[in-house]
């Protein structure tokens, strides 16, 4: 049964789309699977900066330089403006943080186009994750943060700004010696990958895992974590990245020629497929799951696809219709579980900073990076003043790894 309900206690306000199961067939089958669509109120902001060019990089100390999506448009030079405006002091349990680096992902790109499910109406500041330095505390903050501490957070919105107020429950200390751009990549990209590999697919020694988008930030992270667990990794990626992926231990295929479908079936199927593509690829991904043992297809990401599997730009005519279409696709993914006689199953993963495992996951990743057990490649660093170029060039940069925005040094 597909049902919609309010978020449970402790979750961000939003709409949950879920599927109840009255029986399960494998360890991968959850009793109830939810899709969380965050809902946020629109905020009012100042008009775009009208200072002369020589003043725009040096706003007064009582103002904050930040990116603002002031209208939806595929062209980031029409949808995004850079403004300088005041920031209020932190309330109660909030902490004011000077943002050093912000994570950058497809979610922000789709926000600018108006196709990210549940996003607020303009104007608002994007920025899903950040690492920064504590400036001041709200009067009731009691979790041990102090001015000067380096912290990371999954912010969902607001990180593309020089300063941000974040509730202390969402902040995590960043250990010394962890590179700041790397720390900015962990809250979204790597925590998503860890959730896919451990909490959804439950990858173990000897498992065969197929990862779509191996050369993307989340795909590359998932590959790394699967290999560390002793799994064998297959997946799709651009041909230009195949040599590097093979050197890391993966077995890459080109998505469009569909050779991967026959190859995986010849292997007897895989134990898990991690698939952010959705739509037509879910049927193909489900078809390569092993049928003689428990196996799972995990769809993930709250993005309407901005790039199709063949690399062509996907034209979005109506954000509302596209969001409705994605909700229907979520239901279609869960419908695979109606085949109660099969070992194969399906579920959807959406990262949430309010999940019971999120804080522990991020702390563990930070510890792995500090110990040198995980290497996090950074593909590109953009400055905040060039954030519109970051949006325009999304998916076009050479190499693999995460993209981050340098907000301040």
The CATH code of the domain at 195-349 is: 3.40.50.720
Per-residue pLDDT, 409 = 75
Where in the chain do CATH 3.40.50.720 domains reside? 195-349
Share above pLDDT 70 across residues of the chain, in percent, rounded to a whole number: 79
Cis before 123 (ω within 30)? yes
For tokens 């009691």, what's the residue?
A: 142
Report helix, strand or coil for 328: helix
**Is 185 in contact with 159 (CB distance < 8 Å)?**
no
CATH architecture group of domain 63-174+377-406: Alpha-Beta Complex (3.90)
Residue 302 tokens read as 């709250």
SS3 assignment, position 244: helix
Residues 6+ apart with CB under 8 A from 181: 101, 378, 381, 402, 404, 406
- Residues 35 and 13: their CA atoms lie apart, in Å, by 13
List all residues 6 or more positions away from 212 whose beta carbon is below 8 Å from its beta carbon.
219, 235, 236, 255, 273, 274, 275, 276, 277, 281, 285
Residue stretches of the chain with pLDDT short of 70: 1-61, 278-280, 302-320, 322-323
Q: Look up residue 204 and give its DSSP letter.
A: -
DSSP helix, strand, coil percent of the chain (3-state; round to 5): 30, 25, 45
| Beta strand 402-406 pairing with 94-104 | antiparallel
- Identify which of 234, 240, 195 has the alpha carbon closest to the alpha carbon of residue 211: 234
Tell me, what's the pLDDT at 282?
A: 85
Q: Tell me the H-state helices in 139-234.
A: 180-185, 191-194, 217-228
In the chain, count H helices and then E strands. 12, 18
Residues of the chain with CATH 3.90.180.10: 63-174+377-406
| pTM listed for this prediction | 0.82
Nearest to 232 by CA among 267, 261, 259: 267
- 257: Cβ contacts below 8 Å, ≥ 6 apart: none
The pLDDT, as a whole number, for residue 67 is 98
Residues 384 and 407: beta-carbon distance below 8 Å: yes
151 in Cβ contact with 334 (< 8 Å): no
Beta bridge partners of 63: 86
Q: How far is CA 297 from CA 196, 232, 271, in A?
A: 10, 16, 9
The DSSP bridge partners found for residue 214 are none
């Amino acid at each position: 049964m597909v049902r919609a309900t309010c978020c449970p206690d402790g979750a961000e306000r939003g709409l949950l789309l879920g599927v109840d199961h009255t029986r399960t067939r494998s360890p991968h089958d959850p009793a109830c699977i939810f899709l969380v669509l965050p809902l946020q109120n629109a905020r009012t902001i100042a008009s775009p900066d009208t200072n002369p060019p020589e003043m725009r990089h040096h706003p007064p100390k009582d103002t904050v330089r930040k990116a603002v999506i002031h209208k939806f448009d595929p062209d980031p030079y029409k949808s995004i403006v850079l403004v300088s405006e005041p920031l209020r002091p932190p309330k109660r349990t909030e902490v004011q943080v000077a943002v050093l680096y912000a994570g950058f992902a497809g979610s922000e790109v789709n926000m600018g186009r108006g196709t990210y499910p549940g996003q607020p109406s303009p104007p608002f500041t994007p920025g899903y994750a950040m690492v920064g330095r504590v400036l001041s505390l709200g009067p009731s903050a009691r979790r041990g943060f102090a001015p000067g501490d380096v912290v990371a957070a999954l912010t969902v919105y607001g990180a593309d700004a020089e300063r941000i107020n974040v509730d202390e429950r969402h902040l995590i200390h960043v250990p010394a010696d962890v590179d700041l751009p790397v720390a900015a990549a962990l809250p979204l990209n790597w925590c998503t990958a860890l959730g896919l590999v451990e909490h959804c697919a439950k990858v173990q020694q000897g498992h065969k895992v197929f990862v779509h988008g191996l050369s993307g930030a989340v795909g590359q992270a998932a590959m790394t974590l699967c290999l560390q667990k002793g799994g064998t990794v297959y997946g799709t990626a651009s041909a230009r990245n195949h040599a590097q992926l093979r050197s890391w231990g993966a077995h890459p295929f080109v998505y469009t020629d569909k050779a991967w479908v026959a190859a995986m079936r010849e292997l007897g199927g895989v134990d898990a497929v991690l698939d952010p593509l959705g739509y037509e690829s879910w049927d193909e991904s489900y078809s390569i799951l092993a049928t003689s043992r428990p196996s799972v297809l995990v769809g993930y990401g709250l993005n309407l696809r901005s790039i199709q599997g063949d690399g062509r730009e996907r034209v979005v005519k109506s954000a509302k219709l596209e969001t409705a279409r994605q909700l229907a696709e979520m239901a279609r993914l869960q419908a695979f579980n109606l085949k109660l006689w099969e070992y194969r199953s399906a579920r959807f993963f959406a990262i949430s900073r309010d999940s019971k495992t999120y804080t522990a996951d991020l702390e563990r990743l930070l510890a792995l990076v500090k110990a040198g057990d995980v290497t996090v490649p950074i593909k590109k660093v953009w400055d905040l003043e060039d954030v519109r170029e970051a949006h325009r060039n999304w998916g076009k940069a050479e190499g693999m790894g995460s993209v981050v925005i340098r907000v301040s040094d």
